Amino acid sequence: MAIHRLDPLPYAYDALEPYIDEQTMRIHHGKHHQTYVDKLNAALEKHPELARKPLEELLADLSRVPAEIRGAVRNHGGGHYNHRFFWPTLKKDVPARGAVVEALRATFGGFEEFKQRFAQAAAGLFGSGWAWLVMNGNQSLEIMTTPNQDAPPSQRLVPILGLDVWEHAYYLKYQNRRPEYIEAFFHVIDWERIDALYREAMSRESETAARR
C-alpha cells in the first residue's frame, strides 16, 4: 500500500518562467520527485510498522530504521522530504521582508551578505545536493549544505530555505552554469512562506526550550 504520495504543485508548471523553465519543472516534479516517493513506498512495504510514522521522524533517527531499508529511507525518504519542502517555497517576485529578513541582516551583517554566502555555499557544493538556511537548536540561523538527498532533520536542524542544486534541477536551461541558476533562484523565493517557516521554527524552539 502506498503511504506517501506526490502532491500536485501549488502552481502551474510554467509559473516560475523565465527563472525556472516549464520543462524542467515538469520533469523534476513529475519524474524525479515521483520516483523518490515510489521508491520510499517500496522500501516501507517491507516494514509496515514504519509506514505510519511521519517521514520527519524516520529521518530524525535513521539509526532506528532497519539496516536493510536505511539507505532507501535516507535517499528516497530524504528526496521526498526535501522536494516536498522545496516546491511550496517558490513564487515569483515576492519582496524580501518580514522577521526572517531582519534576522538574516542581524545574523549575516546584511541581506546582500546573506545572499552572497548562500550563493557561495550552493555554488561550492561538489556534486549533487542541497544548500540550506536552517535554524539550529539555539534559535540561530545557519547556512549549510547536504550531499545527495540528506535532509536537515537528520542533523536536528529545521529547514527555513532550501535550494536543490542537483543538475536535474537546472541542466536543461542552464547546463553547467550553476551560478546563473542560483542567481535566478533569488527571484522565485516566496519570502512570505519563508517568513512563516521562520516564525514557526522560532516558536517551536521556544516551546522546546521552555520544556528543558
Our CB check for Mn ion shows the closer of 34 and 139 to be 34
**Total of chain residues touching Mn ion, rule CB under 5 A:** 3
Instruction: State the minimum distance, in angstroms, from the CB of residue 152 to Mn ion.
Output: 15
Which of the residues 86 through 115 are near Mn ion (CB under 5 A)?
none
**Residues whose CB is less than 8 angstroms from the CB of residue 198 and which lie 6 or more positions away in sequence, other chains included:** 98, 99, 100, 103, 135, 160
190 in contact with Mn ion (CB under 5 A): no
For Mn ion, the nearest residue by Cβ is 164
CB of 21 to Mn ion, least distance (A): 15
- Of 103 and 151, nearer to Mn ion (C-beta) is 151
Q: Supply the minimum distance, in Å, between the C-beta of residue 73 and Mn ion.
A: 17
Residue 84 CB, nearest approach to Mn ion (Å): 11
Identify which of residues 84 and 105 has a Cβ nearer to Mn ion in the complex.
84
Residue 17: phi, psi to the nearest 5?
-60, 145
Sheet holding 129-135, edge to edge: 141-147, 129-135, 158-164
Neighbours of 211 (CB within 10 A): 6
Task: State whether residue 131 is helix, strand or coil.
Answer: strand
Burial call 151-160: b when 16+ CB within 10 Å, e when fewer: bbbbeebbbb
Q: Please report the beta strands in 44-165, taking only residues with DSSP state E, as ranges in sequence order.
A: 129-135, 141-147, 158-164
> Which residue, 50 or 165, has its beta carbon nearer to Mn ion?
165
10 Å CB burial of residue 183 (0-12, 13-18, 19+) is middle
- Least spacing, CB of residue 101 vs Mn ion, in Å: 26
Between 20 and 50, whose beta carbon lies closer to Mn ion? Answer: 20
CB-nearer residue toward Mn ion: 85 or 166: 166
Q: Which positions from 153 through 172 interact with Mn ion, judged by CB under 5 A?
A: 164, 166, 169
State the residue for C-alpha cell 526535501.
82
Which residues in this chain contact Mn ion in the complex, by CB under 5 A? 164, 166, 169
